[in-house]
Amino acid sequence: MTNKISESIKRYRLKKGFSQDMLANLVGVTKSTISQWELGKSTPKSGNLLKLDAAFGDGGTWRKEDNAGTHHARYITINICEETSQAHPHLPKDIIVQKNDLPMDVNCDELIYTSAIGDSMKPVLEDHSIIVVDKTKRTIVDGKMYLFLEEGVIRVKILSYSKGNVKASAYSDTYCDENYTMSEFKKNKIIGQIILYSTKVD
């Protein structure tokens, strides 16, 4: 049984001139998965919704109309992070994600999104991965990933406490840990904890 979002996927796929195989390759799924989505037998998770946005090239406009009625309870709109918007002029002002992909205790009104830059967080985050940030979670919890500003530069790192200092770590082994005294790190602005991410399709 089809639904609004399944109908939108098929409509925009045909509008772009994509076969199911072509769209599957762009999103990184199988042709069968695309068929299941279009038939309404399954729905794409938030990560694949973001990849569909990139494949269709419209920043999620293709499904804005689906964020109403019975679908309103399943999807939410997340605005871009104002502190990073100038560094990412190509990003849309908002995106839509599936509520089921978010933590149960999250306050949806306190979520923002942006794009990661660089390769220090590979293989978890690629350059230009889309990240969703919870602004209420600014207190460092060891081992969690955070978005913060350091002298106006956007940074994404794993933060933890080490011998009374703050350690900023990367996932990539080619980057060394960075250590700050408490007074040094207080000069930075923690925007929030990263709670959802998806690699953007080039």
32-58 residue pLDDT tens: 999 999 888 888 887 788 888 888 876
Return the beta strands (E) in the chain as ranges.
75-80, 94-98, 111-115, 130-134, 144-150, 153-162, 165-169, 178-180, 189-198
For 142-179, write each residue's pLDDT tens digit: 999 999 999 989 999 999 998 889 999 999 999 999 99
Residue type, 154: I
Q: 4-63 architecture in CATH?
A: Orthogonal Bundle (1.10)
Q: Within 13 Å, how many C-alpha atoms sit on residue 27's CB side?
A: 27
Task: Evaluate whether 4-63 and 77-198 have a shared fold.
Answer: no
- Global pTM reads 0.67
Mean pLDDT of 84-98: 84
Q: Report, at the CATH architecture level, how domain 77-198 is classified.
A: Ribbon (2.10)
Mapped onto helix, strand or coil, the DSSP state of residue 26 is helix
State the Cα–Cα distance between residues 135 and 118, nearest whole angstrom. Answer: 22
